[in-house]
Structure 1
Amino acid sequence: MFDWLQHITNWLVYDVMSLSKGEHLSEALNFFIYDAIKILILLFVVIFFMGIVNSYFPIDKVKNYLSRNKLYGLEYLMASLFGIVIPFCSCSSVPLFIGFVRGGIPLGVTLAFLITSPLVNEVAIGLFIGLFGLKTTVIYVVSGVLLGTISGIILQQLKLESYLTPWVQKVLANAQKEQDTFIAEKQTISKRLPAIWKEVKSIIKGIIPYLLVGIAVGGLMHGYIPEGFFENYMGKDNLFAVPMATILAVPMYTNASGILPVVQVLIDKGIPLGTAIAFMMGVVGLSLPEAMLLKKVMTFRLIAIFFGVVTICIMISGYMFNLIL
């Protein structure tokens, strides 16, 4: 699909810049230019398309559906599936968390959405298809949805409502019905486009810094780290590879689109798919900055339990897919 882009990139690096093939700098630069342009194209197409979809699928409807319908345990799966079509990042964790809890949605169901949405959103899926193909994308989506569903069920059974912060308890005590937050459904697509385009620009503007840093790191790894380096430490034969990848991911702070170029290099360098996915999930779902943001709505004990359950589920997911593939 992007062969034309690879030819242009090769021309820029090897002809215009007069760099030699096979050198560390030329390979790193080639990777950076190619992936930056390719991922930006994918981002624009995917975000614009999903912006149209989301304009007909406002988040208030999700809250109303989950709070008013008895789903006999399937609400955790439904919350995780809703997380795919509603973009969310750690920076919006506090208002989203409050909105769902105020809507009468059980805490475990809210946490299932909170886990899945940053991991398996439309941007990540679009980039995954473009970078790794359909098979890997299906594996990633299934593992992310299962992670959110199972974690939500476990967290609900632990009865953690008492560990919400006093600030949240006060908000809930004084809660009023929220007003609709999106454009009326009867508006035509042409009237929605300005708002959709504004949202596209906002999302891309917020993603680009993380994206470029991730691609730069991926480019350096691609150009300077020799083949087989990661296999010595995180290969299938290393029993502790998945926990290592998950724990090493925690200090990092980026979103799914920013970490994907790094994951691409890890897989190219020989790291098993399950270990690479565990690393990505750790970066997106277990970052320290997210923990600090959640401190507004969760006590330290609840954050520790939340991160602990998610960490265990990520590790199990990584081991499972390493065994299957």
Structure 2
Amino acid sequence: MFDWLQHIADWLVYDLLDLDQEQHLAEALNFFIYDTVKILILLVIVIFFMGIVNSYFPIDKVKNYLSRKKLYGLEYLMASLFGVVTPFCSCSSVPLFIGFVRGGIPLGVTFAFLITSPLVNEVAIGLFIGLFGIKTTLLYIISGVLLGTISGIILQNLKLEGYLTPWVKDILANAQKEQDLFKAEKQTFTQRLPIIWTEVLNILKGIVPYVIVGIAIGGIMHGYIPEGFFEKFMAKDNLFAVPLATILSVPMYSNASGILPIVQVLVSKGIPLGTAIAFMMGVVGLSLPEAMLLKKVMTLKLIAIFFSVVTLCIIISGYLFNIIL
């Protein structure tokens, strides 16, 4: 989808700036240019789309529907399954987080989607089948969906709404006012567009600095962490290899398809598949750049709770993978 953008980034870094592809700076800069433009495009599309949705969706009805006890937790499973079929990376988490919460979707259900979406997607599934076979791929999909579902349920029961930042709370308050305005005036779609676009620009102004800083951190990690740095901590005979792999993955940044070739290399060098997958899940779902992005919408305490719950679930998944496979 973004192959054209990669060609532009390559031209800027390797041709226009004449940097050597083997240089750490060139790799980091290429990563930064490509991901910054890609994510800004995704941000505009996602925020604009969610603005349209939120202008029509009855917030109160959504809240009531997802709060019904007869769903028996299926809303978390549905959110995780929706995450599988959406091509969003962790850096799209801020606008998606805002859009879901503005739409009246409970925080835990939102977390279920945000956890699963970057971990499992159609590209990663295709690569997984080619690298590790259908059996391992099915286990990977099931574990990713369960990880999002269980984490979402746990986070919802912790009642964390009070730890959202004031910026998000203001957006939520304005969302209801906007919807009341749309209803009262019965505006056409064309009449709604200026209000929706103004909200898009307001949200972008608030989060773009965090996005750029987060991607910059990811670019530095991507370009300067030496190859093979983590392998000595993931040896097969190390009982604590899974939690160590998960914790060591936090400074890294990549999407699931980008980290899979590294997982294949780790497995080929004798590292257990569960340990390697725990590392992959940590890179995709617990990265330092993602924490930087989430700082705009979550307090530090909420980020710490969110990361702790997901870390625990990833570690358990890693051990289970090692036992099963």
After TM superposition, the score normalised by the length of structure 2 is 0.64
Match of 2:88 in 1: 88
Give per-residue Cα distances to partners, 1:234-267, cap 9 Å, x unaligned.
Answer: 2443210001100110000111111111000011
Instruction: Answer yes or no: is the 8 Å Cα contact 2:236–2:272 preserved in 1.
Output: yes
Secondary structure of residue in 2 paired with 1:293: helix
Match of 1:286 in 2: 286
Matched with 1:72 is 72
Change (3 A) 1:63 1:280: farther
Per-residue deviation, 1:138: 0.8
Work out the CA distance in 2 between the residues paired with 1:103 and 1:62: 7
AA matched with 2:275: T
CA distance in 2, matches of 1:63, 1:315: 39
CA drift of 1:275 comes to 0.4
Quick one: distance in 1 between partners of 2:254 and 2:101?
26
What is the distance in 1 between the residues matched to 2:111 and 2:263?
25
The residue aligned with 2:105 is 105
Matched, 1:316 2:316: yes
For structure 2, the 5+ residue unaligned runs are: 1-51, 190-217
Question: Quick check: 2:236–2:270 contact (8 Å CA) kept in 1?
Answer: no
What is the rounded CA distance, in whole Å, between the counterparts of 2:141 and 2:106 in structure 1?
Answer: 24
Q: How high is the TM-score relative to the length of structure 1?
A: 0.64
Report the AA paired with residue 131 of structure 1. Answer: L
- Per-residue deviation, residues 7-44 of structure 1 (Å, max 9, x unmatched): xxxxxxxxxxxxxxxxxxxxxxxxxxxxxxxxxxxxxx
- The 2-side partners of 1:141 and 1:151 are apart by 15
Q: CA-to-partner distance for each residue in 1:159-217, whole Å, 9 max, x for gaps?
A: 00000000000100110349999xxxxxxxxxxxxxxxxxxxxxxxxxxxx9xx98xx9
Residue 273 (structure 2) aligns with: 273
Aligned counterparts, 1:107-146, within 5 A? 107-146=107-146
- Give the AA of the match of 2:309: V
Unaligned runs of 5+ residues in structure 1 are: 1-57, 182-209
AA partner of residue 107 (structure 2): L
Amino acid at match of 1:281: M
Letter in 2 for 1:123: V
- Structure 1 residue 90: Cα displacement: 2.1
Give 2:240's aligned amino acid: F
The answer to whether the aligner puts 1:299 opposite 2:314 as a matched pair is no
Structure 1 window deviating more from structure 2 (169-178 vs 287-296): it is: 169-178
Bigger helix share: 2
2: CA distance, partners of 1:321 / 1:125: 17
CA contact (8 A) 2:233 2:244 kept: no
CA displacement, residues 53-102 of structure 1 (integer Å, 9 cap, x when unaligned): xxxxx988999997545422111111101100011112211110011011
Q: What RMSD in Å do the two structures reach over aligned CA positions?
A: 3.4
- Once the two structures are aligned, what percentage of the paired residues are identical? 75
Contact 2:112 2:151 (C-alpha < 8 Å) held by counterparts: yes
For 1:99 and 1:300, the matched residues in 2 are separated by 21
Mapped contact 1:163–1:298 kept (Cα < 8 A): yes
Distance 1:319 1:62, change over 3 A: farther
Match of 2:41 in 1: none
- Equivalent pair of 1:63/1:105 in contact (CA under 8 Å): no
